[in-house]
Amino acid sequence: MTTPLNLKNLERAQLRDALAELGHKPFRGDQVFRWIWRRRVDSIEAMTDLSLALREQLAGARIPRLEPADVRVAEDGTTKLLIALDDGKQVESVIIPDKDRRTLCVSTQVGCAMACTFCRTATMGLIRHLEPWEIVEQVLIAERVLEERGEGRTIQLKGRGQAGKVERALTNLVFMGMGEPLHNHAGTAAACRILTDEQGIGFPPRRITVSTVGLADRIEPFLAETGVNLAISLNAPDDGVRNQIMPVNRKFDMDVLLDTVSKLELSRRQRVTFEYVLLAGLNDSVEQAASLGKRLVPVADRIKVNLIPFNPHEGADFQRPDLDDVEAFRETLLQWGVEKVHVRRPRGDRILAACGQLALEKKPG
Ligand code: SF4
């Protein structure tokens, strides 16, 4: 028995090809794509402007939908969604509200193979890649949760001067949940293309940031394929510390990473974000900030740095640094000419909102 075709896993160009193979004009693929992602129908019967013959041909295809198995809301509004996959596995997404922004942190794998020592997801190992539709569904689920709470809606705006404009429940997407997005290069890139396709969800690429531990050889091709923004988890001032906490550094060290960043084609205002999780006593001293700042000088005008005080979890070997140390670290980077250095305040501590934590509490299987 062959597996029924999952229409949600196809990018628009693939849908056009699939319908052409069935003997239909390729634009029928655009229609089906719009029904699925813009009008968000769950059945072929609902696609009323398709011919009966085409609907009959597609009758065996699937338009699956995922649901949250658990929703936890912290006092600051951070909302953790545990999402049940069809095979019984689970991943998590986190909605992070901040002033007029609502950002969704998206997962790309069940578990992760990268073995960063400060990360709870790492202890799961890699279970599997997410398929493109499983990545995109996290966005739709989050939008539904926000809409049900009256905290936003996603609608096509109508009226004068509004053509093509969309009001969105979510303002930004960051691929920083479970998994290493570029390890699941094909699935993540396809998901980005589905998300940004203007005939479907139409999420602006400039509002999407994909975060990598630094799989340097995949960075440039991935950005060329998707047009989204890039963040790199740096987390260390030098290779000694980075080797200790991020095994990937043995393959792509800091020189390779910085060289890759220096060669990226960026638009005038675009910057690569370096994420730096501050671990007390390991990578948070002023001397280390100075050493990092010096190293970042050649790329200082094309990057910004996000400092993230570690969010300790049960069994973690690391502690959160004092706020004074965080501030001193930030000041030192600024002195070295890194113009944009932000400190990300801890969010949703009570619901374990550092990525990779809830899914382990309710272990898949
Ligand atoms: S920090 Fe990210 S890349 Fe590293 S193990 Fe955790 S999920 Fe994987």
pLDDT, residue 360, reads 55
Residue 116: alpha-carbon gap to chain centroid: 18
List, by residue range, all CATH 3.20.20.70 domains of the chain: 67-361
If one residue of 92, 107, 109, 114 were mutated to test the ligand 1 pocket, choosing by the most ligand atoms within 8 A of its CB, it would be 114
pLDDT, residue 315, reads 76
Alpha carbon distance 328, 300 (integer Å) = 19
Per annotation, catalytic residue among 11, 92, 143, 275: 92
- What spacing in Å lies between the alpha carbon of 210 and ligand 1's midpoint? 13
- Among protein residues, the one with the nearest Cα to ligand 1's atom 3 is 180
Cβ-proximal residues to 149 (8 Å cutoff; 6+ apart), any chain: none
3-class DSSP state for residue 85?
coil
For a pLDDT cut of 70, what percent of the chain falls above it?
A: 94
Question: For ligand 1, which residues put their CB under 6 angstroms from it?
Answer: 112, 114-116, 119, 121-122, 178-180, 213, 356
Residue 107's pLDDT band, with cuts at 50, 70 and 90, is very high
Higher pLDDT, 63 or 167: 63
pLDDT, residue 158, reads 76
Mean pLDDT highest for which of 92-106, 180-194, 263-277, 331-345?
180-194
pLDDT at 344 over 80: yes
Give the ligand 1 atom nearest the CA of 180. Answer: 3
- Among protein residues, the one with the nearest Cα to ligand 1's atom 7 is 179
pLDDT, residue 119, reads 87
What stretches of the chain adopt beta strand conformation (E)?
Answer: 67-73, 79-84, 90-98, 101-105, 109-111, 126-129, 155-156, 166-167, 172-175, 208-212, 229-233, 272-278, 303-309, 341-343
pLDDT at 356 over 90: no
Residue 333's pLDDT band, with cuts at 50, 70 and 90, is very high
Average pLDDT of the residues in 349-362:
49
- Among protein residues, the one with the nearest Cα to ligand 1's atom 6 is 119
Question: Strands 208-212 and 90-98: what pairing?
Answer: unpaired
Higher pLDDT, 175 or 159: 175
- What spacing in Å lies between the alpha carbon of 113 and ligand 1's midpoint? 8
pLDDT at 354 over 90: no
- What spacing in Å lies between the alpha carbon of 211 and ligand 1's midpoint? 10
Which range among 192-196, 206-210, 307-311 shows the weakest confidence by mean pLDDT?
Answer: 307-311
pLDDT at 216 over 60: yes
Q: Does 355 qualify as catalytic in the annotation?
A: yes
pLDDT, residue 361, reads 55
- Among protein residues, the one with the nearest Cα to ligand 1's atom 4 is 116
List, by residue range, all CATH 1.10.150.530 domains of the chain: 7-57
pLDDT, residue 348, reads 57
Average pLDDT of the residues in 219-233:
96
- What spacing in Å lies between the alpha carbon of 135 and ligand 1's midpoint? 17
pLDDT at 165 over 80: no
- What spacing in Å lies between the alpha carbon of 58 and ligand 1's midpoint? 39
pLDDT, residue 166, reads 78
Give the ligand 1 atom nearest the CA of 212. Answer: 3
- CA dihedral (136, 142, 147, 151) positive or negative: negative
Average pLDDT of the residues in 236-261:
97
Higher pLDDT, 16 or 168: 16
pLDDT, residue 353, reads 43
Give the pLDDT confidence of 265-323 residue by residue, as tens digits: 998 889 999 999 999 999 999 999 999 999 999 999 999 999 999 888 777 888 999 99
Average pLDDT of the residues in 31-53:
95
What is the residue whose two structure tokens read 């790309």?
108
Q: Which CATH architecture has domain 67-361?
A: Alpha-Beta Barrel (3.20)
Average pLDDT of the residues in 225-249:
96
pLDDT at 355 over 70: no
pLDDT, residue 142, reads 97
Residue 363's pLDDT band, with cuts at 50, 70 and 90, is very low
CATH class, domain 7-57, is mainly alpha
Tokens, residue 83: 């999402």
